[in-house]
Structure 1
Amino acid sequence: MKNLSNTWLTDDMIDFEFKKYTLLAYLQNVKEKFSQHELYPQLSDLLMHYDNLLNLKKNKALLYEQFPQVATGVDLKQLRITYQKLIEDDELMRELSEIIQYALPQINQSITHGRELYDFVEGHLSFDEIGLMPIYQNEGYVLLTEQTDKNVAVYRYKISLINLQKEEYRAIHTQFLFNEIKSITNTFNKIKLKLSKKFSDLPNPATFLVVSKLQFPIKETILPISKRFLLKHVNMS
């Protein structure tokens, strides 16, 4: 099983052994991805599933709301359809509680593994600025490469503010542009100069360099960690 549905707990058959098999198959796939040093989207998915289960454990009303409902009639006075939940069985709720109790430590163990891998990868990455940095850094470029590889993956990034539930959060969007080959003549500064000439809307772009000492997947690992680095170090202006 590659993915786990957001509603896996209440999908299909509500049976402890069946859900256990479903969860363990998913976690086995996550383990295989981690063994290949692929962090995302596995780690973020694990955190999402863990938080969902934790919330359901704390609030049985949320668990109840996860179940589907069927129309039972029409209220003509209020002009609305009335519904009834497809779950009324206390024994079934106890079964779900047992599944949640089992799943939480299993998922948490995988999260721990993922965080250890994250720290390992981050410890083998270096982050540097290329050339003079402008005051405006909400948009720019990030160059990703390996220490022993000539290939350089060039991404454009943009950081923006989003409002969610009356709170402001920073979000980052990245777009792959092209690959460059680094050399004595085609240095990182030269690549930055090419970018400023090619994209005139950023004449002096904020440009960051991420170099990996070991070989890790760019898209699944190095890029997501680099995005977190950018969100942490770039001040919104």
Structure 2
Amino acid sequence: MDTLSENWITENHIDFEYKKYMLLAYLQHVAGSFTENKLYPPLSELMKHYRSLTALRDNKKLFHDSIPERMTSVDFKKFKIMYEKMIEDDNLMQEIENIILFSIPQFEKHLAEGKKIYDFIESKIKITTVGIMPLQLNEGYFFLSTTQSSDTRVYEYQVTLFENPDEKYRALCTQFICMYEKTLSNNYEFIKSDLVAQRKNLPNPATYSIEADLTLPLEETFLPLAKRTLMKFVSQQI
């Protein structure tokens, strides 16, 4: 099983053994992805499910509100639709609580494993600036490469600031541009100057190289971690 739906506990047949089978099948898929160093989307999905479970465990009202409803009648005079909870049986409620209590340690175990892999891979990723840096670092390029390959993937990035009454946060938008073969003459400085000559929209771009000291799945691991690394690095400079 590749994924779990957001309401997997209360959907369909509510039975401890059935839900246990569903969960373990899903976690087996996650473990297989981690074995191949594929962190995303499994790691973010694990965190989302774990937060939902702990919130349900700690908040009985939220737990009750998550249970599906079914329409029982329609009052046309008051233009009101009547609903009732599909689960009111105490035994079923206890079954759901048992599922939650079983599931939380399982998610914690796999989250810990994912975090361990994440930390190891992060320690193998190095970011450096390329050439002279401009004052504005909100847009530019980053180069992705590994020590095992001469291929260099070029991405354009843009950091956007979002604000609401309570907080500010930044989002990183990226777009793949092209591929270069890195050689002694085709180094990062040359690639940057070639990009400036060909792409007039960024005459003086902030440019970074992000290198990994091991071979990684691109979409599932290297690119997501590279984006996080870049965002952290740029945020410290802005």
- The Cα shift of 1:57 comes to 0.5
Q: Deviations over 1:71-125 (max 9, x none)?
A: 2333456533222221111111111111110100101110000011011111111
Query: How far, CA to CA, are the matches of 2:197 and 2:83 in structure 1?
Result: 61
Q: Which residue identity does 1:35 align to in structure 2?
A: T
Query: How far, CA to CA, are the matches of 1:181 and 1:97 in structure 2?
Result: 56
Select between 222-231 and 155-164 the one with higher mean Cα deviation.
155-164
Counterpart of 2:234 in structure 1 is 234
Query: How far, CA to CA, are the matches of 1:166 and 1:82 in structure 2?
Result: 37
Q: Does 1:83 align with 2:96?
A: no
Consecutive aligned runs of 4 or more in structure 1 exceeding 6 Å deviation = none
Counterpart of 2:183 in structure 1 is 183
Q: Which residue identity does 1:134 align to in structure 2?
A: P
Aligned residues: 237
> Superposed, which structure 2 residues align to 1:206-217 within 5 Å?
206-217=206-217
Q: Which residue identity does 2:93 align to in structure 1?
A: M
RMSD in angstroms over aligned alpha carbons?
A: 1.7
TM-score (ref. length: structure 2):
0.93
- The Cα shift of 1:12 comes to 1.5
Counterpart of 2:172 in structure 1 is 172
> Superposed, which structure 2 residues align to 1:1-237 within 5 Å?
1-76=1-76, 78-163=78-163, 166-235=166-235
Question: Structure 1 residues 158, 78: closer, same or farther in 2, change over 3 A?
Answer: farther
Select between 15-24 and 178-187 the one with higher mean Cα deviation.
178-187
Q: Which residue identity does 1:199 align to in structure 2?
A: R
Select between 191-200 and 31-40 the one with higher mean Cα deviation.
191-200
Question: Structure 1 residues 78, 158: closer, same or farther in 2, change over 3 A?
Answer: farther
Contact 2:127 / 2:230 at 8 angstroms: preserved in 1?
no
- Give structure 1 stretches of 5+ with no counterpart: none
Residue aligned with 1:12, SS? coil
TM-score (ref. length: structure 1):
0.93
